Amino acid sequence: MKRHSARRITNLMLGVALVCALASLEAAAQAPSKSFGEPSDDKASAKPGARAAQPLTPSDADDQMFKDLYRGFYETYKIGPSDEIAIRIVNQPDYSLEKVEVSPVGRIFHPLLGEVEVVGLTVPRLKQKLVADLSQYIIDPNISVSLLKANSAKIGVLGDITRPGILVMSGPMTVLDAISASGGVTSLGSQSNVTLVRQFGGGQLRTMKINVKRILEGKANPEENLRLQAGDTLIVHGNLRKKIGSITSVVGFGRFLDFVLR
């Protein structure tokens, strides 16, 4: 219980810090641009008094936005070695698995089916496979499959992007790679106003402003197209005054950052 409480507190602090940091970026939009990679001055967000000024309850719309992102991730994610899954069969506790880790060769052991190849399957596809295989032994098996832990490196892409969500890094990925994999910036988005949120140990955050337009036009230095790290989140700004409240919903956004980092 103490561990869960500590995680909730960390999520709240992450959300508050990002609200303050991104608000600073919005205020600076009319001011002269800072040099690339310069962290936002978010020291004020670390002050204890900053928490009291922010609402801590996300709206239903905010919650739904993040739920949709998680659902999309789980429905398309392909199971890999070291991932953990749960298989539950109604009224069949002996054949249910509350937690099983995928082996290095991509298999799990089921007490009724033996070795089962699961690597490369999505959760819905694995459920279909298990229903078909178990139907030989159980009449109309009622099965649920859950992804408990995805060990692949993940990054988040939010804001005015065609397909916001969670990307799995199958290899080295740059800012431009992530933008392209997410369908590109929408007509309402700003290619010149993209924020990279990078997390460090102890829950510390750093925000960096990236001008993707300069990169696309070939006017940027090669190092400006940063190579992403596991746990990074990109936010493409557009109609920021309308979007910032939902994207950085204090509870929802903090949980999102935590999910991408795990």
- Give me the residue spans of the domains in the chain: 2-76+152-261, 84-149
CATH number of the domain at 84-149, out of 3.30.1950.10, 3.40.50.10860, 1.10.3720.10, 3.40.50.620? 3.30.1950.10
Q: How far apart are CA 102 and CA 120, in angstroms?
A: 11
Cite the DSSP H helix spans in the chain: 2-28, 60-76, 123-134, 175-181, 212-216, 240-247, 250-261
Q: Note if the pTM is more than 0.75.
A: no
- Quick one: fold of 2-76+152-261? Outer membrane lipoprotein wza fold like (3.10.560)
The domains spanning 2-76+152-261 and 84-149 adopt the same CATH topology: no
Of 48-52, 141-145, 187-191, the one with minimum mean pLDDT is: 48-52
Reported as a single tens digit per residue, the pLDDT across 106-152 is 999 999 999 999 999 999 999 999 999 999 999 999 999 999 888 88
218-248, pLDDT tens digit by residue? 888 888 898 898 889 999 988 644 454 455 5
The one-letter amino acid at 5? S
